[in-house]
Structure 1
């Protein structure tokens, strides 16, 4: 019985340590600042692709009312960076990432923007909801932490929603 109590104390201590680590990570995420004395400086290695790697397919945007053109734009940029597409390649690929209403909009777009930034701006102007900021704010206000949801998952979801508002 003493062994069981000792193990429970160890598990409880580990849980307390995990909670402290979680709080520290949340503080760093919410308040990034200069590295402190005890903070490690992490440097990312340069991105080098060796050998063959499979390109990712860009996401499909259909222009449906429930789709978020801003989120789609962000995901398209992520895939473009991974595939190492330059601006000209992005312009060529974007046409094949559009289907349905969005593809029909694109086919009728005259004059066509000559830059990826111009095309993304036109796409966002055409398909972003007119009350997009209010919808994001509503999502943020309605977001509640689930009973079994990890604290870090909830915190990063809140941070993500806040970043979309800026």
Structure 2
């Protein structure tokens, strides 16, 4: 009975292998720390057994971030920054991030059908949302109030792109 209880308390070897798979996969990307952080925050990652599954998780994370960011920017433009130059830039950013959501959602089909180059192009376009948003502020001569959001967008899209790139060999 004590042995059975001890066996139940030990980590399952399959779970360790899955965590190792995520770590090994991330180590093959251009941004291993960001990859481990992004995938580590998703409860599906330990159960993933293919790079394609991890790429879909990365795409989900980037898409969710873009969707949330677009909403936040729209709220800020109507709220705290309503009627200001920053508010105008935020409206433009919300549009850019809305386009990024469409690109990331659109990348799902080519990713899962093996058209990795097409999926990569869409993710790359979405990754540019942060830079376009920063330019919206710079073009108006004001400092960005969402630099951290723009940086996170670029990082998450970069991880999704890296994972897709691993498939395109």
Larger Rg belongs to = 1
Q: TM-score, normalised by structure 1?
A: 0.28
- TM-score normalised over the length of structure 2: 0.28
Which has the larger helix fraction? 2
Greater relative contact order (Cα < 8 A, sep 6+): 2
